[in-house]
Amino acid sequence: MAAQEEINTWGSKSWTYVSSLRQQSPLIQCITNLVSMDLMANTLLAAGASPAMIHSILEIPDFTPHTQAVLINVGTLTPEWLPAMKAAGGLANQLGKPWVLDPAAVGASSFRLKACLELIELKPTVIRGNGSEIISLSMASIGSTKGADSLHESSDAVEAAKSLAKSSGAIVGVSGSVDFVTDGQRVVGAHNGLPMMQKITASGCAVTALIAAFVAIDPTRPFEATASAFSVFSLAGEIGMGLAKGPASLRMHLVDSLHGLDQETVLERVKITSFS
């Protein structure tokens, strides 16, 4: 019974994010990898936010102050891009705006790991990665890697996520079959989704962008925003799969389903439970 009450509370919280996002349409600056730009922008638009893929260091002082949240994703990092990421993260921090870090493929090289550790010093509000990314970041080491894909279950990374949350001060989200969210003490898991979502490149990047949009709605509650965004995105995947034939059509139907989500469905199907 207690669990049922908890599910209902998360359903209504999640619906508040969905409906507020549609009403407020916050501007989200995305400095993201070259693979993810299209799906990320379309995910944000379908959910009601306004995405802007503006990443030149020359534009950050003018543009970043107009945004409601910043998303930084290192998926196709080069030395030329890093200064702009640091400038945007640093300015967001200075202006008291939320910013979200996606350490995509952080275990791929020491260059990427060092860059992510430097970005974490700029105090991201949320860090979202898959199991391997969160373990690599938390241990500050590179080991075996499969690039942007995970070698670990999300449940393998919960302790690493707690430790990273404590050391960084960020909310940490780990995606996978269950999406875990922690502030270092509390842990919740979002149970929506389906394995086929791993076959859509940039689905992880897109959910991180949705987290940034939800955090923009209420920057004082990043824990709630992160869990809700995970659940809502994965629920859109579940609904989209009803019409899809494979990853390519799932990508399209996921975006359509996110756009069409209604209150009854969110209240009934969002499934977030406590693990602590």
Residues within the interface to ligand TZP (CB under 6 A): 33, 35-36, 75-76, 104-105, 148, 201-205
Residue 124 partner contact from ligand TZP, Mg ion, ligand ADP, none using kind-dependent CB cut-offs of 5 to 8 Å: none
Q: Does residue 197 touch ligand ADP according to CB under 6 A?
A: yes
The sheet with strand 99-102 has its strands ordered as: 50-52, 27-31, 69-73, 99-102, 126-130, 171-175, 179-182, 187-190, 272-274
User: CB-wise, 86 or 253, nearer to Mg ion?
Assistant: 253
Residue 70 partner contact from ligand ADP, ligand TZP, Mg ion, none using kind-dependent CB cut-offs of 5 to 8 Å: none
H or E segment and range at residue 168 = helix 158-168
**Nearest approach, Cβ of 215 to ligand TZP (angstroms)?**
18
User: CB-wise, 15 or 233, nearer to ligand TZP?
Assistant: 233
How does strand 27-31 pair with strand 69-73? parallel
Contacts 24+ apart (CB under 8 A), 214-218: 214/17, 214/21, 215/69, 215/98, 215/100, 215/125, 215/126, 216/24, 216/26, 216/28, 216/49, 216/68, 216/69, 216/98, 217/17, 217/20, 217/21, 217/24, 217/26, 218/17, 218/20
Q: Does residue 130 touch ligand ADP according to CB under 6 A?
A: yes
Residues 6+ apart with CB under 8 A from 273: 3, 6, 7, 188, 189, 191
Secondary structure class of 169 (helix, strand, coil): coil
**Nearest approach, Cβ of 105 to ligand TZP (angstroms)?**
6
Residues 168 to 197 in contact with Mg ion, rule: CB under 5 A: none
Q: Does residue 198 touch ligand ADP according to CB under 6 A?
A: yes
User: CB-wise, 63 or 230, nearer to ligand ADP?
Assistant: 230
Residues 137 to 196 in contact with ligand ADP, rule: CB under 6 A: 149-150, 175-177, 179, 193-195
Residue 36 partner contact from ligand TZP, ligand ADP, Mg ion, none using kind-dependent CB cut-offs of 5 to 8 Å: ligand TZP
Give the position of tokens 């629920």.
Answer: 235
Residues that bind Mg ion (CB under 5 A): 204
Residues that bind ligand ADP (CB under 6 A): 130, 149-150, 175-177, 179, 193-195, 197-198, 203-204, 207, 230, 233-234
